[in-house]
Amino acid sequence: MFEKVKNQDHLLGKTNRIVDGTTITGDITTLADFRLDGKLKGNFTSEGKIVIGPAGEVIGDIICKSIDIEGVFSGKLQAEGMLNVKSKAHITGEVIVGKLAVEPGARFEASCEMRNL
């Protein structure tokens, strides 16, 4: 009847990865960190850090602890901690973050709200 919550320490330091050339349509949910170099059309939820690599693309909503974006993101992003926008990144949509860093050269075409989530 009641589910026990297992200790998630075994996930520390482990990263899921989707490589370039892979396209996923659907939602991804993970407790661990995640690196995306492929394409995702769907929502993305992680209790860890997400990295969207230079070839990565996400069209959908993201909820995570922190995120680095080098590729393309379009949708609504909620990050409890830091959003690092790299110089080659292109972001459109709505962004709600705790902290924000944008490198020169990045295309940041989104509404942005900074607050503690």
Confidence category of residue 99, pLDDT binned at 50, 70, 90: very high
Per-residue burial over 32-61, b if 16 or more Cβ lie within 10 Å, else e, is bbbbbbbbbeebbbbebbbbbbeebbbbbb
Please state the domain count of the chain. Answer: 1
Q: Is 91 part of a structural domain of the chain?
A: yes
- Which domain does 58 fall in, by range? 26-114
Closest CA to 67 of 106, 41, 96, 38: 96
Q: Is 11 helix (H, G, I), strand (E, B) or coil?
A: helix
Q: What's the angle, vertex CA 96, arms to CA 23 and CA 92, rounded to 5?
A: 50
Determine the pLDDT at residue 4. Answer: 46
Structure confidence by residue, pLDDT tens digits, 20-41: 999 999 999 999 999 999 999 9
Q: Is 15 part of a structural domain of the chain?
A: no
Q: The pTM is what? A: 0.86
Q: Is 98 part of a structural domain of the chain?
A: yes
Q: Is 17 part of a structural domain of the chain?
A: no
